[in-house]
Every structure is written in structure tokens, then in C-alpha cells.
Amino acid sequence: MLSLILIIAASFVFQGIIIRTKSLASGRKGPGIMQPMKDIWKLLRKGSVYSETTSFIFKLAPVIYFSSVVMAILFIPFGNQRGVLSFDGDFVFFAYVLALGKFFSIIGALDTGSSFEGMGAAREALYSMLIEPAFFLVMGSFALLTGYTSFAGIFSALHFGSYISYAIGVLASGVILALALIENSRMPVDDPKTHLELTMVHEVMILDNSGFDLGLILQAVNLKFAMYGALVANLFLTREYELYYSIPIFIGVHVLMAITIGILESFWARFRMNHNPQFILMITSVSLFIFLGVLLMLGKIV
């Protein structure tokens, strides 16, 4: 339960820290850290407008997308404390709960009948499909290393004590950070601030959403950022850490991750569309190095 509370709390400020970092990097003061949440709160108090061409799928998609993210968060542990839900192989269920939400967001975009939204949905489906092996390679490698197949078991048994293990931890953190960027359609895969339909991915998918529905989608993105930040934090939390150590580490990882994303988006240009699959497959290649490192630690290869 503590992990759920901390992730929700982190989601309130994560986007604000990113925006503030980008503002400072460009020489501007920028909005307050809580401004994104204020905007979402305004949207949640408004009604939604629906096109006559849409069906119940379009109305249902934002709720399922948001619910899938909340369901996935329930599996995230905190140090030696299990998540609200935990069982063997739960990281597989975690991935496909998120995939269910992504599926409904895609068919919700297709339900509008807009060729532009269909184009964005096709791109998002492709990127999600290409990045999936990277997640399973990372978690499968840690499952092989620790002998557990649940998030709680993997993170509680994971310890770094050698140069190879530290390298694996750094690579895994980088892969999870890339997962967060790709899954949330951020730089360098997509630019959330662009409004040119031919180059948009996630933003073009939600052009017809408004009011309460749009607020749910935007908050789901914040929760996903905080969720991936919690996965990175759990790499460095062990069962020996007391709460007065674990909570500052958790907060520090989220702040550092948000600042890193803000800096990357300030100085890293968006890739051309035909380069995005190559970048995503490169992330999967990095995950293979994690797998090889685990085999080295287990003495399977010399």
C-alpha cells in the first residue's frame, strides 16, 4: 500500500519537474511544479464532448486506459514490502494489463473515424510492440538471477555487489527510462508539444478527447511516469533499508529521473519517423547485454 501512495504522490509533481527543468534549460522561469495537476483538475471538473461518429468504445477507452495503469501500479513493491497485489509471474500480468489499456486507447482513436488519429494509433501500436521484448528481457534476466518470478521476490532478492552487477543496474535503469519515454510518447520518439498531425503520435490520438476524459488520459501519463520511476527505485532498495532510508531514495530517484527527462527533451531533437523503430530495437539490444551480464554472474558463460 505504501508504494501505491508514494507513486500517486510522485505523479502529482513528476510532470511539473520535467516542465520546470525544460524551462530553466531554455532560460525561462516557467510554470509552477503543480501547474500540470491544476490543469488536469480543471479538465476533470468539465464535461466531455463526443462526436456523432463515435460509439461507446470512444467513451469507454479513457476509463479503461486509466484503470489499467492503476491496476499495474498495484503490483509495484516498495523495498521489502509487497505491492497491493503480488503473485508468481505478476510482471507478465503487469505488462499485459498495460497492453490492454493501450489497446483500448488505440481502438478509441480508431473509433473517431479520423485518418489522422488512425495514423497515430498505428504508430503507437508499432512502438509498443517493438519495446515489449526489452521489458521482458530485463525482468526475465532478473528473474533468472534471483530465482523469483514476482516483482516483490525479484526486487527483495536483488543485490549489487560486483562490477558486473552495477553495470547491469545502470543498464536496467537506462532501459526502464527509455521504456517510460517510449510508452508515454516523449522525446526522442515523439514531441508532446507538436501540433503537426503528420508527425504526432500520442497527441493526435487524443485530439477528440475533452473534459473529464482528457483529464483521465493526462493523469494516466503522469502515473505511468511515476510507475516506471518506482521500478527504477526498487532496483536500489533492499530489504535491509528502513523507511527513513527507503523513502528518500524513492523520492530522489523520481526527482533525478524527472530532471533527466527534462534535460533530454531540452537538448535532444526528435528522431525522424523512420529512425524510431531503429532506436527502439537498439534499446532491446541493450537489454540483451543485461541478459548476458546475468549469465556471466551465474557462471553460465566464461
28-77: pLDDT as tens digits: 888 888 999 999 999 999 988 888 888 899 999 999 999 999 999 999 98
For residues 102-111, give the mean pLDDT: 90
Q: Does 152 map to a domain?
A: yes
Rounded CA separation 110/250 (Å): 38
pLDDT at residue 198 is higher than 70: no
CB under 8 Å to 171, separation ≥6 — which residues? Answer: 286, 287, 289, 290, 293
With bands split at pLDDT 50, 70 and 90, how would you rate the model's confidence at 193?
confident
Q: Does 189 map to a domain?
A: yes
CB 43, CB 65: distance < 8 Å: no
**The pLDDT of residue 231:** 92
CB 201, CB 124: distance < 8 Å: yes
Q: Does 302 map to a domain?
A: no
With bands split at pLDDT 50, 70 and 90, how would you rate the model's confidence at 278?
confident
What residues make up the domain containing 205?
A: 2-297
Domain count, the chain: 1
Q: Is the torsion defined by CA of 200, 205, 208, 212 positive or negative? A: negative
Q: Does 204 map to a domain?
A: yes
Query: Which residue has better confidence, 80 or 280?
Result: 280
Mean of per-residue pLDDT scores for the chain: 87
CB under 8 Å to 264, separation ≥6 — which residues? Answer: 181, 187, 188
**The pLDDT of residue 279:** 87
Rounded CA separation 118/113 (Å): 8
Three-state DSSP string of the chain: CHHHHHHHHHHHHHHHHHHHHHHHHCCCCCCCCCHHHHHHHHHHCCCCCCCCCCCHHHHHHHHHHHHHHHHHHCCCCECCECCCCCCCCHHHHHHHHHHHHHHHHHHHHHCCCCHHHHHHHHHHHHHHHHHHHHHHHHHHHHHHHHCCCCHHHHHHHCCCCCHHHHHHHHHHHHHHHHHHHHHCCCCCCCCCCCCCHHHCCHHHHCCCCCHHHHHHHHHHHHHHHHHHHHHHHHHCCCCCCCHHHHHHHHHHHHHHHHHHHHHHHHHCCCCCHHHHHHHHHHHHHHHHHHHHHHHHHCCCCC
**The pLDDT of residue 70:** 95
Q: What is the pLDDT of residues 239-260, one digit of tens each?
A: 666 667 788 888 999 999 999 9
Rounded CA separation 193/199 (Å): 11
Q: What is the pLDDT of residues 142-188, one digit of tens each?
A: 999 888 889 988 888 887 777 788 888 889 999 999 898 888 888 77
Q: What is the pLDDT of residues 201-240, one digit of tens each?
A: 777 788 888 899 999 999 999 999 999 999 999 888 766 6
**The pLDDT of residue 240:** 61
With bands split at pLDDT 50, 70 and 90, how would you rate the model's confidence at 13?
very high
